[in-house]
Amino acid sequence: MDKTKISPNGIEQTILRRIPLEITAVSSLLSLPAYLLFDFTTAYLFWLGGLLGALSFWSLKASLTKTLANLNQQKTIRLSLFWYIMRLLLIVLVFFIIILVYQKRVLAFALGFSLLLLVIMIEAIYGLISQRKWKN
Question: What count of Cα atoms within 13 Å lies in the side-chain half-sphere of residue 39?
Answer: 4
DSSP state of 76: H
Q: pLDDT digits over 86-135, tens only?
A: 989 998 999 899 989 988 889 999 999 999 999 999 999 998 888 776 66
The pLDDT, as a whole number, for residue 53 is 93
Residue 33 to residues 38, 64, 89, 105, 120: CA-CA distances in angstroms? 8, 35, 31, 15, 22
Contact 19, 13 (CB under 8 A): no
How high is the pLDDT of residue 135?
A: 60
pLDDT of residue 55: 93
Contacts of 20 (CB under 8 A, 6+ apart): 54, 55, 57, 58
Confidence (pLDDT) at 136: 56
Residue ranges in the chain assigned as alpha helix (H): 11-37, 40-69, 74-101, 106-113, 115-135
Summarised one tens digit per residue, pLDDT across range 15-28 is 889 999 999 999 99
Largest CA distance in the chain: 56
Taking 60 as the threshold, does the pLDDT of residue 6 lie above it?
Answer: no
Rounded mean pLDDT of 61-80?
82
Average pLDDT over every residue of 26-32: 96
Cα angle, residue 85 at apex, residues 70 and 106 outer, rounded to 5°: 135
